[in-house]
Amino acid sequence: MSKQVNVKVDAGESGGVQEHLWRFIGYDECNYTYIPEGMELLGKFAALGDAPYYFRTHFMFCTGNCHGTYKFGSTNIYWEDENGEAVYDFTYYDYIIDAFLKSGNKPFVELGFMPMALVDTNYLKPSGGDWENYAQYKEVGWTCPPKDYEKWHAFIKAVISHLAEKYGREEVISWYFELWNEPDIFYWSGTAAEYCKLFDYTEHAVHEVLPEARLSGPAVTGIFEGGHAQKFFRFFLGHCRDGANFCTQEKGTRLDFITFHVKGGGFPFEMHAAKAVPSVESLVHQVKLGLDIIKEYGYQDCEVVLSEADPDGWAAGGVYDNANMIFRNTEYYATYVASTYEKIDRLSVQYGIKVRPLAWAFMFPGERCFEGTRTFTTQGIDKAVFNMFKIYGSLGDEKLAFESDGAEKLDFLQEPEIGVKNHSRYTGEGEDTDVSGFAVKGRNGEIQIVVYSHCNDRDKEEDQTICLKVDGVGSREVNVSHYRIDSLHSNPYAEWEKQGRPLYPEGEQYAAIKARDGLEKLCDDVKVTAQGSLELQFEMPAHGVSYLVIK
């Protein structure tokens, strides 16, 4: 017997602005940006109705062969001549920025990591020979503080000056800038104080060239009560507010917006892993703890970007590394995003702080089909999660009143242990299904309604009858279109399984899978005569997204 969930939308009651908080994307491998597969995916995001999207990527200052590999990248932007004088080469750096802009998107510029010629080798082990030196640089050298903070300052000035000259000041001030990534863990070999020193010199250099530019930090990992990231976050905000500026010796440091990361779980390399799933509640709890600290230090007027906000932490891992990554191939990833983003939006309203989650997912060239990496596409095939973003991209920006008696309340945020769910073998079994969503007025006056159903337990099977009532429609004939993401719709993974799970599908086999990667309708459009209100009924599984358009 199916469970009934009552959803009510009032198209006559405006709820203010619906922020398009989802327009932020990122990935590790900067050199994937400008290759054909990367350009193809950038183009798909640019084609969404609310483009441009902002793209963040790692390793843009690093030294190497400028060829993308898992968890590394390089541009050779900085080196020094035999006299120790800085030499700048923006060739590959510009390839990346050009790709963002030419595709119709914008950069979220991460300033990092340390070029080989700027590394303070006191943080490294003694080594001999070029091979050993570079091997150590590629393993850990790029995480080191600079050997000379004045040279770092000059380097940052040169980068910002180049960007302003090449792309124009007005264009560049529309971007986001962020210093480093997760300095509270292995991405930074220095201390919290040394990160603050790097931030002070960076902030001074950026704003000396471009006073209107937006710069953020500290991009720490998930915040847990009493954890290292929480302590680092407080240390950084305290320094920016009250500390002695390492560069100017004055009090405090300018901070334009704030970044930190949130993850719902973690799945390490484990060949025969027992079942585990990400937690929506853990991720949202980390958001709350971060916002609490931001208010505590008086930065509640700052925009917040969760510059990695994901179900788990290892984007390049897949089902061959840990079978639990399977959810990334299916509708589960789409419903997880829908559930977490909706709750982040609620928290944003509750705190009065603009909060934007950034999905750390892109694509991996040459991977096996449905590898299970955290990506939007596999071999050029759009996964179910990308269809969620196609829904997002089509939406208007006027929020309408929305209620669901199946929605999970935010009371779980008061449970002290909720945040550590992803520190244990968490399965989500026995938990209720969350049925909620939101509604907006479309760009052409249509009513757009998103209803999602999600349970953390990926194996849960449950039928739910959604009784949807839409008030404020007026007395008129309307057309109702109903799109769906679930195991059978907008989900090429099901077709891939039907085709025998080929590693590298070709010809008709590939075409059959590719044909199912668009946003599909649950049923044919229907015309209904509304008398002030409209009532609709439909079934939803435990993991699904319905998108209804009434016009």
* pLDDT tens profile 139-153: 999 999 999 999 999
Distances (CA, A) of 259 to 72, 200, 219, 278, 300: 22, 16, 5, 22, 13
Per-residue pLDDT tens over the stretch 470-501: 999 999 999 999 999 999 999 999 999 999 99
Q: What are the CA-CA distances from residue 256 to residues 157, 209, 213 (Å)?
A: 18, 15, 8
Pick the CATH number of 20-228 from 1.10.3720.10, 3.20.20.80, 3.10.20.30, 3.40.50.970: 3.20.20.80
Give me the pLDDT at residue 227, please.
93
Q: Vertex 14, ends 11 and 20: CA angle to 5°?
A: 100
pLDDT above 80: residue 166: yes
**What integer pLDDT is reported at residue 92 of this predicted model?**
98
- Whether 1 has a pLDDT exceeding 90, the answer reads no
Task: Name the average pLDDT for the chain.
Answer: 96
Structure confidence by residue, pLDDT tens digits, 45-88: 999 999 999 999 999 999 999 999 999 999 999 999 999 999 99
Residue 31 CA to residue 69 CA, distance in Å, equals: 8
Residues 213 and 160: beta-carbon distance below 8 Å: yes
Percentage of residues of the chain with pLDDT beyond 70 = 99
* Span(s) in the chain for CATH 3.20.20.80: 20-228
Q: How many CB atoms lie within 10 A of CB 296?
A: 12
User: Does the pLDDT at position 211 exceed 70?
Assistant: yes
Place of tokens 């699904």: 544
Using the predicted structure, report yes or no on whether residue 126 has a pLDDT greater than 60: yes
- Taking CA atoms, 6 is separated from 530, 538, 541, in Å, by 19, 11, 15
* Residue ranges in 104-246 assigned as alpha helix (H): 130-139, 149-167, 169-172, 192-209, 228-242
> Which residue intervals of the chain bear CATH 2.60.40.1500?
3-10+399-550
pLDDT value for 127: 81
> Residue 36's CB: how many other CB atoms inside 10 A?
9
pLDDT tens digit sequence for 385-435: 999 999 999 999 999 999 999 999 999 888 877 766 656 689 999 999 999
Q: What is the mean pLDDT of residues 369-386?
A: 98
pTM of the entire predicted model: 0.97
| Domain spanning 3-10+399-550: CATH 3.50.50.60 | no
